[in-house]
A and B are shown apart, each in its own frame.
Chain A
Amino acid sequence: MNSLIACHDCDLIHRIKSLPAKGTANCIRCGAVLYKHKPNSLDRTLAFAMAGLILFILANSFPFLGLRIGAEIRETTLITGIYELYVQGMQVIAILVLLTTVLVPFIQMMCLFYILMPLKFGRLPQKLPWVLRFLRNLQPWSMVEVFMVGILVSVVKLAKMAEIIPGISLYSFLALIFVLTAMTVSLDAHLIWQKWDENR
């Protein structure tokens, strides 16, 4: 049964064939991507997750925008923005922002460490199936790249009111977007399941 796969968009059964380097297998009926060959998938994903964690810490430790009116400068980190919302009685929105820009990306990286670190040293993490499934369910809720567009819009909105000072963490946010996207794209879940089946 492991040599077959059903298309997730139209349920058509396909035989799994080995792909050439960087090849993609598409469903012959609806065109959905069934699986891809991703070179060095696990090493790459682990590397991106590590880089992502460093950038994540930077992005959340320093202010990403500052505002100068006269002599007064006001700076904000992501957490202070969320805190302000919470204090103003917008708890639901505060939690939504906290989840989509801080918690979910962080948990995603942690899940990947849990799965990939032991695999790197030839061991299988015990809760691998559960964690990999959880990781997949989290995917739609990670929105760092959308947050970046939010920063751009805010800058334009405030530009007339006061002078905008870009903070250090603005650059780490920018880099974090690319690293998190690369991390998600380079992960080959199919390969991990294969390793799980072989070693159990």
Chain B
Amino acid sequence: MTSDLKTAQKAGLISCHSCHLLCQSANGATDMLCPRCEAHLHDRKPNSIARTWALVLGALFFYIPANVLPITIVVSLGKSQSETIMSSVIYFVKSGMWPIALVIFVASVFVPLLKLLILIFLLIGVQRKSNWRRQDRTRLYRITEVIGRWSMVDIFVVTILVALVHLGGLVTIHAGPGAIFFGAVVVITIFAAMSFDPRLIWDAEETIHE
């Protein structure tokens, strides 16, 4: 069955990543532009594995201060109280509002970590030229593309709290340094998912059938 299945790469074609036009690949030529939309043409995303690894490791590194440092600082009557993401989750669990605790935990703690772990899993699979459940691994990749954005929830919450709670110096809320690292994690993981090329998952098969 595989004999009549052909990839663009094997046919000497490059699919434009932006407009999906199939272009003739000029062998050896670098820096080709799509004749239709003028996007740079690559048969695979350039340095996909190295770039994704770098971004994943960077995000993992920032993930620690994002969770340890306070994301908001509440100043009331001269006393200031720092809040990290986990401390606000614990506060909501204790006060019985577990649905909201769950939302914060999933969006801010679980999703970024899950996304990073999936990307690491995919990278290792590609590097080992694994043929194991390629379709499911491609599906995992699609999940990482979709879920990352939801981690921005906490950044938005901080924005709203800072704006609203500003009552004549009695109580004010400031954004803490954790917010910056947290924002960095979200942005870097989005770039990491972009730089990974899911076609690499399938390239292993073709080398075996050759």
Which A residues have a C-beta under 8 Å from some C-beta of B?
1-2, 4-6, 8-13, 29-32, 65, 67, 69, 72, 74, 76, 80-82, 84-85, 88, 90, 92-94, 96-97, 100-101, 129-130, 132-133, 136-137, 140-141, 143, 146-147, 149-154, 156-158, 161, 189-190, 193, 196-197
Which residue in chain A gives the minimum CB-CB distance to B182? A93
**Interchain CB contact (< 8 A) of B9 among A11, A32, A100:** A11
Chain A binding surface SS class: helix
Q: How far is the CB of B59 from chain A (nearest CB, A)?
A: 15
Other A-B contacts than A6-B13, A140-B194, A150-B152, 16 sampled, CB-CB below 8 A, are: A2-B21, A10-B7, A11-B199, A72-B168, A85-B175, A93-B179, A140-B149, A140-B190, A149-B150, A150-B153, A151-B156, A153-B100, A153-B154, A158-B165, A193-B37, A196-B36
Q: Which of B138, B142, B157 contacts A154 (CB 8 A)?
A: B157
Which of A74, A101, A130, A153 is B164 in contact with, Cβ under 8 Å? A74
State whether A5 and B156 are in contact (beta carbons under 8 Å apart), knowing that A30-B134, A72-B167, A93-B183 are contacts in the complex.
no
CB distance from B188 to the nearest CB of A (A): 12
Least CB separation from A97: chain B residue: B159
For A31, what are the chain B residues with a Cβ–Cβ distance below 8 Å? 135, 138-139
Complex interface: chain B residues within 8 A of A67 (CB): 164-165, 167
B11 proximal to A (CB < 8 A)? yes
Report whether A132 and B138 are in contact in the complex, using a CB–CB cutoff of 8 Å: no
Give Cα distance in the complex from A143 to B135, angstroms.
29
Question: How close is A58's CB to chain B, nearest CB, in angstroms?
Answer: 18
Using A11-B15, A12-B7, A154-B164 as known contacts, say yes or no to A93 and B158 having CB atoms under 8 A apart. yes
